Structure 1
């Protein structure tokens, strides 16, 4: 018998490495759903859970504003969003790496050589 409560809304990244990892975690937890092509919402088969597929960079804001009940995204995204959320669990995937690149012809050997220079980010 299904509950009269509204479905729990869980936001997960809609594409990329985090999407692949989240899909694996959800499958391992027994959540069955079918995501239609080009549709960013899926209802779980036997549980009152609605999956909302969002850009990873938007999930913290959706959780912080109460538009979804919970989400899976990076700690860096939460910090950049500046929203108040509770981190329930560290999942241990989605690690990032910061790389510094400089032209070889400048002869720079380390990070100290770029102090005061221009930095571009992606």
Structure 2
């Protein structure tokens, strides 16, 4: 009988998530491919494979009991979920970046900066706290090219090594958030399925947490 349904994000966190659950004795049984629901080697656990931005939605609603997501996605979503465990992979940073020769943090003539990002909520909050008015432009891919095409003055994006920024003539200006993979849990499920929940926590609680510094 399925006791726990766990949402996994497609993309960069998927394979590390699979490896972590495999070490915990719940290996996904087969490749995701076109399948959204995947059984595991533990008959009490099944996986739901969805787009990264949907993981917090499924967990908050109770369609999934648990999920693996990045802190960037979680904070952007504003979902009301528990965060019981940092999983120790997927470390990266959400940063403000701009062309190396461009003025920062102010533009000449009192111009309001245009900021391109996939993270409008986090970007708007960051600049509001700093007391710097900006116009947020939401884009869904290739954020780094926005300043080159004069779509924006700056960008807010996720970086790992920073190589893509440098390749496009951009430099990091500020770090908004240090991110990593976290396990999230539905509040009601955590109470109703406490034994299964605690058992899985014990099996997953391995590895070093990513740094918030």
Question: Structure 2-normalised TM-score?
Answer: 0.47
Unaligned segments of structure 2, at least 5 residues:
119-213
Quote how far apart the aligned CAs of 1:77 are. Answer: 1.7
Q: Identify, as 1 or 2, the structure richer in strand.
A: 2
**In 1, Cα distance between the equivalents of 2:32 and 2:106?**
51
Counterparts of 1:1-122 in structure 2, within 5 Å, are 5-14=1-10, 16-32=11-27, 33-35=29-31, 37-97=33-93, 98-102=95-99, 107-108=101-102, 111-114=104-107, 116-122=112-118
Count of matched residue pairs: 113
User: 1:35–1:41: 8 Å Cα contact kept in structure 2?
Assistant: no
**In 2, Cα distance between the equivalents of 1:108 and 1:46?**
54
RMSD: 2.1
Segments of 4+ moved more than 6 angstroms:
none
**In 1, Cα distance between the equivalents of 2:60 and 2:81?**
6
Question: Structure 1-normalised TM-score?
Answer: 0.78
Moved more, 21-30 or 75-84: 75-84
SS in 2 for 1:87: strand
